[in-house]
Structure 1
Amino acid sequence: MEKKLSQAMAELEAVQEAVARAEDELSQASATIRSRDRAVEVTVGAQGELTGLKFPDNKYRNMTGPQLAASVMEAVQVGREQMARRVMDVFAPLTQASGGPTGIRGVDIDWDRAFGSALDGPDGGGRRSRSRLHDEIHED
């Protein structure tokens, strides 16, 4: 029993260290994206927050308000999706079972709850439809 407890504690410590490394890696992470029309450049942080907004080459001056708004929204959405996927990639090893003798399961993360619309992509498609299918399969 003591051996299993010490193995479980060692696995728990390893998970805690992995989480700390992942958080440290992501603490300064960001993505800089330009809109397709190249009128807007945004920087998005690891939590999907907008941390920078630029209008390169003053292209916005020839745009209507709705066009500029659409460019900003598109770039922000692409940046949020890119950062969400990076966070998922960094935490992916923690979501898998350890395979150790204690049988400790991997962490179960609800990515849709964590990132919401950031995973939908700029065209409205994306993870939501796949998650819905996964949920239906999982429930069966």
Structure 2
Amino acid sequence: MSEPLQERIAQAMAELEATQAAVARVQADLRQASETVRSADRVVEATVGAQGELTALKFLDNKHQNMTGPQLAASIMEAVQQGRARMARQVMDSFAPFTQPGPAGSIRRGLDVDWDRMFGSALDGGGRAASGRPGRDRLRDEIDEDSD
């Protein structure tokens, strides 16, 4: 009986080592990853790194000189938020294989990752607060609770 147990332990250790190596490869790839996005008005180009940090900002063709401060700020914010959203999706896609259970007979159960908690508004390009959606959902919850 100890032999099958030892085989299962050896299999589990091999899976763990393979998973650790795969995670290390993904992390190394993401250290080099970035997303570059232009604002809709094509005034600003922002580059965002894997952790959502702004790594470069360019003002294209001096178009910004004809803008007011609030207009330029809006263009910058739009480009940065879009870059963060794309980068968040790239990170999620890169780690997706680790969130799924392993093949039949595998001990890997898959990670349960709260992407909303990890990336917040970056997942929707920063539009969550502007949409008002959380407030409507909360109100609907309150209405449902009042019907008791």
TM-score between the two structures when normalised by the length of structure 1:
0.85
Separation in 2, partners of 1:114, 1:123: 16
Q: In structure 2, how many angstroms separate the alpha carbons of the residues matched to 1:51 and 1:90? A: 21
Q: Secondary structure at the match of 2:74?
A: helix
Taking only the aligned residue pairs, the percentage that are identical comes to 64
Structure 1 spans left out of the alignment, 5+ residues:
133-140
Specify the code of the residue in structure 1 equivalent to 2:59.
F
Matched with 2:47 is 43
Contact 2:31 2:50 in 1 (8 A): yes
Distance 1:88 1:79 in 2: 14
- Report if the CA contact (8 A) 1:41-1:55 is conserved: yes
Q: Partners of 1:18 and 1:28 in 2: how far apart?
A: 16
What is the one-letter code of the residue matched to 1:85? R
Gaps in structure 2 of 5+ consecutive residues: 138-148
| Aligned pairs (5 A) from 1:37-76 | 37-76=41-80
Match of 2:26 in 1: 22
Q: By how many angstroms is 1:102 displaced?
A: 4.1
Aligned to 1:111: 115
- Equivalent pair of 2:48/2:84 in contact (CA under 8 Å): yes
Considering only CA atoms, is the larger Rg found in Structure 1 or Structure 2? 2
| Amino acid aligned to 2:24 | A
Please give the root-mean-square deviation of Cα atoms over the aligned residues, in Å: 2.0
Relative to the length of structure 2, the TM-score reads 0.81
Question: Corresponding residue for 1:78?
Answer: 82
Query: Partner of 2:144 in structure 1?
Result: none
2:121–2:127 contact (8 Å) kept in structure 1: no
Partner of 2:92: 88
Aligned to 1:2: 6
Cα offset for 1:104? 2.2
Helix, strand or coil at the partner of 1:53: strand
